[in-house]
Structure 1
């Protein structure tokens, strides 16, 4: 009887040691995966923030507006205890779902009606063209704030900001498409076509 009890005790100790080791490995693996998910979520949030900023800049510069918000939603972190079970149980359904999505995409590929709306956005004049055209119509210098007010009233559907208008005007000045005139602490802009006409008129008079 003593030998049987000793064998049972040793077997129980072996099982306990094995289970303890398995638990340690399982815990370490969960910690590693959770750390990877946390890092990926931070990267995704950074990309979403950059996406939002780029879309706002595109709209401010008069670029085509996106048809819809394509920013992906941040995934939720699954429970660590149930993560291994879910991965094993959903392996086959994911494959089937992917096949179904591919078949649906193949069927809808020939019809691309939404693309027909693109020319409407592309047909809109850019902010650069609007500012240059406005300056060419003016007989007196105009400030960035004045130009912003006029263009905002003429195009209420566009989000035109003074800072973007001022940057665009400075780019036109750098390309010799506009002149900068500073009066005190204020800066005014004129189109280059008007100053260019003056020397020609003076030459004819001489």
Structure 2
């Protein structure tokens, strides 16, 4: 009986640990998916605002085009002339009509140029700032420095992927970067069972001096 009771207790403890681990993994996945949904909602809101601006601009351009379109050319007052008029009179009327047509075309082109100017505002608004992005080595080391407990390569990659959704951060690349930092005293590695965890070193000065070398090795 005591052996049977001990076996049951050990089996129960095993299931309790397994359920706790599965629950923790489930919570992490929920947090990751929630962060992705939040990012997608922000992108959708941005696209909706841009759509509203573009629709308003399209309407404004259509109204401006109709206003800027020249109306029918005003007819010149007809002055009755004697029946025996010289043949040069019709030529003068044609010349005056051609000059009026050129003026109308000039006004039309000027109106198009005036309407086209507001279209440059969205491009200036969306122009990305020419700021240098941090390297992967800097991101990995900065994340470890903010943590109080050791983190695995998968946890670091997941956290950086949430903080920087515009960058494709892979767990394999993050693990290589961490190993390069460890090789150059830029990080410390600890092993718990079959899992490997990383932390920042106790000497920040020596780690900062080797950060450039780790970056070059990761790039190579």
Q: TM-score range by the shorter chain?
A: 0.3 to 0.5
Using the size of structure 1 for normalisation, the TM-score is 0.36
Which has the bigger relative contact order, CA under 8 A and spacing at least 6?
1
Larger radius of gyration: 2
